[in-house]
A and B are shown apart, each in its own frame.
Chain A
């Protein structure tokens, strides 16, 4: 299964028709999965998972297609000059990495770091894994307290200056938004209720991991906060969310208290926020944190890899927390072996938030 550029690899047509079984013997795939490099390892993992009939695995077109190299990263920053949705993306900024406008520079550098993170650690080429340009617009509306992914690009507000600083100030916010794009191209988790909270959690996980990776932090050194630096000094709070202790990130007279639960028994039933997608994400966030702490070292190496492969290959759009737990556990088994330390850590992580893995 040698990598070729711009052409299909052996087995592509059969794979698409779901008749993978028998092309490469499972023992060979297992060997590749354990000792292969880069793409061949990933391909072996994908085929193994299909053979093991993990229900819910995505049968994406192009799964076995190795795209022609795009000749490097493409990261663009636009200034929408306080315009709104209809004005996007705005005016392209030349040399954004050297801009004197901190929002432009941060948007560029955050996107670049996130691109490198996915490329170097998980062999992913940009948001769509086909090298698409990563576009961001800064100065969205006026005093805008938000950042977002609109399905095509990232958007950053300047903050109101009273409670919020500019939203590019925190690299995990940028990585969070970019990860929404990755999720949209992979599991495409629906943005409401439990799948929506998983979607949010995936963005927090990779948001935090990019920050940890940039700082070369081990799990013990990391702060596990999301959006540190976003609040002005006026606000009583460290950040928007905490993965290590959901529900404790802020408690402010004007903004209220961090509403995140850390356990299923505190799951919040609400119609607001598309069914609490930014609230109940505390539960899978904490499961990831517990898994990573159990494994120690650098969270992006094993826990992050398990979560990434699960997002890419093993989740469907309507996945629940219980399904995500089972899939991460299965992926850990495929990546590191049944009963491995990694698989046990995943099980412990989810157990710690009240989600049992049903085999």
Chain B
């Protein structure tokens, strides 16, 4: 499985991303990540969430997951993150690189 998170926006407007091939990870790291993708029901989420009606400086996430034949991208702003997706985004955010 390939997981790719790009975070833009925020006060700083900085682009940061992380790309993980779960197959290259030891199983103690791979399994929790793949489980979070499953728990988020990622492949059933809409591809594009609406823009928040109010507010500013929120983070913007573009998250892509490839799993075998399946590939899906979800674009969503921080305030509108579905609850089920939050743990995965939180976990990936710890691994963001420049």
Candidates A148, A230, A259, A279; contact of B56 at CB < 8 Å: A148
Q: Are B78 and A85 in contact (CB under 8 A)?
A: yes
Q: Are B13 and A277 in contact (CB under 8 A)?
A: yes
A-contact bits for B44-81, CB 8 A (1 contact / 0 none) = 00000001111111111010000000000000001101
Q: In the complex, which range does the number of interface residues on chain B fall in? A: 20 to 34
A323 to B97, CA, bound (A): 38
Known contacts: A151-B52, A252-B98, A274-B51. The answer to whether A146 contacts B13 by CB under 8 A is no
| Residue A291 is within 8 A (CB to CB) of chain B in the complex | no
| Residue A194 is within 8 A (CB to CB) of chain B in the complex | no
B-contact bits for A286-307, CB 8 A (1 contact / 0 none) = 0000000000000000000000
A117 to B63, CA, bound (A): 41
A25 to B60, CA, bound (A): 51
| Residue A24 is within 8 A (CB to CB) of chain B in the complex | no
| Residue A94 is within 8 A (CB to CB) of chain B in the complex | no
Q: Which residues of A contact B51 (CB under 8 A)?
A: 191-192, 274
Known contacts: A151-B54, A180-B56, A253-B98. The answer to whether A146 contacts B11 by CB under 8 A is yes
| Residue A137 is within 8 A (CB to CB) of chain B in the complex | no
Q: Are B58 and A148 in contact (CB under 8 A)?
A: yes
CB-nearest residue of chain B to A183:
B56
Q: Which residues of A contact B79 (CB under 8 A)?
A: 85, 150
B-contact bits for A181-196, CB 8 A (1 contact / 0 none) = 0011000000110000
CB-nearest residue of chain B to A256:
B98
Q: Are B57 and A146 in contact (CB under 8 A)?
A: yes
A204 to B15, CA, bound (A): 19
A255 to B13, CA, bound (A): 11
Q: Which residues of A contact B9 (CB under 8 A)?
A: 272-274, 277-278
CB-nearest residue of chain A to B14:
A255
Q: Are A199 and B56 in contact (CB under 8 A)?
A: yes
| Residue B35 is within 8 A (CB to CB) of chain A in the complex | no
Q: Which residues of B contact A217 (CB under 8 A)?
A: none
Q: Which residues of B contact A203 (CB under 8 A)?
A: 56
Q: Are B52 and A273 in contact (CB under 8 A)?
A: no
CB-nearest residue of chain A to B77:
A274
Candidates B54, B59, B81, B94; contact of A146 at CB < 8 Å: B59
Nearest chain A CB to B59 CB, angstrom units = 6
Q: Which residues of A contact B60 (CB under 8 A)?
A: 272-274
Q: Are B86 and A84 in contact (CB under 8 A)?
A: yes
Q: Which residues of A contact B15 (CB under 8 A)?
A: 256, 272-273
| Residue A66 is within 8 A (CB to CB) of chain B in the complex | no
A124 to B28, CA, bound (A): 56
Q: Which residues of A contact B10 (CB under 8 A)?
A: 145-146, 148, 278
B-contact bits for A141-173, CB 8 A (1 contact / 0 none) = 101011111111000000000000001000001
A316 to B10, CA, bound (A): 24
A173 to B38, CA, bound (A): 38
CB-nearest residue of chain A to B12:
A240
| Residue B8 is within 8 A (CB to CB) of chain A in the complex | yes
Q: Are B57 and A149 in contact (CB under 8 A)?
A: yes
Q: Are B59 and A273 in contact (CB under 8 A)?
A: no
A326 to B83, CA, bound (A): 44
Q: Which residues of A contact B90 (CB under 8 A)?
A: 141
Closest 6 CB pairs of A and B: A278-B13, A151-B54, A148-B57, A180-B56, A254-B98, A272-B8
A-B contact pairs, 11 of them (CB 8 A): A148-B55, A148-B57, A148-B78, A149-B55, A173-B11, A177-B57, A183-B56, A184-B54, A227-B12, A253-B98, A278-B9
A residues apposed to B, CB below 8 Å: 84-86, 141, 143, 145-152, 167, 173, 176-177, 180, 183-184, 191-192, 199-200, 203, 227, 230, 240, 252-256, 259, 272-274, 276-279
B residues apposed to A, CB below 8 Å: 6, 8-16, 51-60, 62, 78-79, 81, 83, 86, 90, 94, 97-98
